């Protein structure tokens, strides 16, 4: 079971305030797409950081992400749920608490 959850309204506010985030909602399916600009990513010095695509389901105003993919050029790699949780859970918790 995924622990990557956030309120859709808060995620939309965050995305609007930050810029560079695309959110697609299609009935009960949600896709969040962005190129990370976190200091940790920028420190790696990559010319073009990979795009992150998070896919989840919408229920009662909350998004639960089940899949995280990293797109780098023509390749796409799916992160394990454990790795995704370790990387993105605190960020989603921050959005939930502050937006």
Report the pLDDT averaged over residues 37-47.
57
Q: Which pLDDT value is given to residue 73? A: 82
Q: Which pLDDT value is given to residue 72? A: 86
What is the reported pTM?
Answer: 0.87
Q: Which pLDDT value is given to residue 50? A: 87
Contact 94, 8 (CB under 8 A): no
Contact 60, 41 (CB under 8 A): no
**Number of other residues whose CB lies within 10 A of the CB of residue 37:** 11
Choose between 46 and 72: higher pLDDT.
72
Q: Which pLDDT value is given to residue 19? A: 86
Report the pLDDT averaged over residues 64-86.
94
Contact 63, 30 (CB under 8 A): yes
Q: Rg (Cα) of the chain, in Å, rounded?
A: 13
- Split at pLDDT 50, 70, 90, the class of 49 is confident
Q: Which pLDDT value is given to residue 40? A: 55
């Amino acid at each position: 079971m995924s622990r990557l959850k956030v309120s859709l309204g808060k995620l939309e506010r965050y995305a609007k305030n930050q810029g560079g985030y695309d959110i697609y909602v299609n009935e009960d399916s949600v896709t969040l797409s962005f190129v990370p600009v976190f200091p940790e990513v920028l420190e790696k010095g990559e010319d073009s950081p990979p795009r992150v695509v998070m896919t989840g389901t919408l229920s009662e105003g909350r998004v639960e992400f089940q899949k995280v993919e990293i797109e780098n050029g023509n390749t796409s790699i799916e992160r394990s749920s454990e790795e995704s949780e370790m990387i993105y859970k605190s960020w989603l918790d921050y959005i939930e608490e502050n937006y």
